[in-house]
């Protein structure tokens, strides 16, 4: 069974550009979560998608957005990139939506560097 | 501030020794989970302990939870070089994963 896959592995952008990150959840998982992990910080919750809908978002500006496709894969878009957006972006999926009693399965992440 | 805070921030031990990491949190929780992260990659779920449980084992891992002290510990026995990673606790205070908070982790180095 394939795990959560993310692409690209690394992404280098300049300030002001847009970045698009992609995630494919484990087959059968409908919930996709996006987290930002900046250097030296814990994981910060960004977005939660389930059944194609955005269910919740963390304390991030609107230039962080995304969507979930009918096949449950997801895309994270970051517009007007700033230097502090440089971080590891992790996608995770779970089987049951909204419940934190099920473990999360994480992808290997996309390392975004903003120059 | 982070709900879950791991201690110590870094730990270096010899292969074969036991490693103990602690996690403290501030509010009541439904469950607490421990995850491992290798070299800035994705996190791998290790163990989940519910608020009504006091201890849980999984292979060489032992997790305890003391809700009166709002703390948890992760013990790795007979450590191996492959255990070198960062370990995070994640606390669920209700409201699903969008409300789960992760600490900044304990960086464990196991020296062969």
DSSP A83: G
Both tokens assigned to A102? 């099920």
In a structure prediction context, what are the per-residue pLDDT tens digits for chain B, which is 112 residues long?
446 788 898 999 999 999 999 999 988 888 899 999 998 788 999 999 999 999 999 999 999 999 999 999 999 999 999 999 999 999 887 777 667 778 889 999 999 9
* CA-closest candidate to residue A24, choices A70, A82, A81: A70
* CA-closest candidate to residue A113, choices A9, A4, A1: A9
What would you report as the CA-atom Rg of chain B, rounded to the nearest whole angstrom?
13
Interface A–B counts its CB contacts (< 8 A) at 75
- Rounded to the nearest angstrom, the gap between the alpha carbon of residue B64 and the centroid of all alpha carbons in its chain is 10
| pLDDT mean over A98-102 | 69
| A28: closest CA of chain B, how far (Å) | 18
A103 and B33 in contact by Cβ < 8 A? yes
Per-residue pLDDT reduced to its tens digit, A25-69: 999 899 999 999 998 788 899 999 998 999 889 999 999 999 999
Provide the percentage of residues in chain A whose pLDDT is more than 70.
95
Between the CA of residue B79 and those of B3, B22, B98, what are the distances in Å?
28, 16, 33
Provide the pLDDT for residue A97.
63
Q: Is the pLDDT score of A1 beyond 70?
A: no
Provide the pLDDT for residue B3.
64
Assess contact for A74 and A22: CB atoms under 8 A: yes
Provide the percentage of residues in chain A whose pLDDT is more than 90.
78
| B48: closest CA of chain A, how far (Å) | 8
Through-space distance between the first and last CA atoms of chain B, rounded to whole angstroms:
36
- Which pairs count as long-range contacts for A83-87, CB under 8 Å and 24+ apart, including other chains? A83/A15, A83/A114, A83/A115, A84/A38, A84/A114, A85/A19, A85/A112, A85/A114, A86/A38, A86/A112, A86/A113, A86/A114, A87/A36, A87/A37, A87/A38, A87/A39, A87/A111, A87/A112
Provide the pLDDT for residue B42.
87
Collapsing DSSP to helix, strand or coil, A85 comes out as helix
Which member of A42, A94, A107 has the closest CB to residue B104? A42
- Peptide bond before residue B8 is cis, with ω within 30 degrees of 0: yes
Provide the pLDDT for residue B1.
40
Between the CA of residue A37 and those of A13, A31, A53, A84, what are the distances in Å?
17, 19, 23, 11
Both tokens assigned to A21? 């990150």
């Amino acid at each position: 069974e394939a795990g959560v896959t993310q692409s690209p592995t690394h992404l280098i952008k300049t300030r002001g550009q847009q970045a698009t990150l992609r995630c494919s959840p484990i087959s059968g998982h409908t919930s996709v979560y996006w987290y930002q992990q900046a250097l030296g910080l814990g994981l910060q919750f960004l977005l939660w998608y389930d059944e194609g809908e955005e269910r919740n978002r963390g304390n991030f500006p609107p230039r962080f957005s995304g969507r979930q496709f009918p096949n449950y894969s997801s895309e994270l878009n970051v517009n007007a990139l700033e230097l502090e957006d440089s971080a590891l972006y992790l996608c995770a999926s779970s089987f049951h939506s909204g419940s934190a009693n099920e473990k999360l399965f994480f992808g290997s992440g996309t390392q975004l560097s903003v120059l | 501030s982070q709900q879950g805070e791991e201690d110590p921030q870094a730990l270096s031990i010899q292969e074969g020794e036991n490693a103990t990491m602690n996690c403290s949190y501030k509010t009541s929780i439904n469950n607490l989970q421990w995850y491992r992260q290798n070299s800035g990659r994705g996190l791998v779920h290790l163990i989940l302990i519910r608020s009504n449980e006091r201890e849980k084992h999984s292979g060489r891992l032992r997790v305890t939870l003391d809700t009166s002290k709002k703390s948890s510990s992760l013990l790795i026995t007979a450590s191996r070089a492959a255990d070198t990673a960062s370990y995070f606790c994640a606390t669920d205070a209700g409201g699903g994963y969008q409300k789960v908070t992760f600490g900044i982790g304990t960086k464990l180095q196991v020296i062969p």
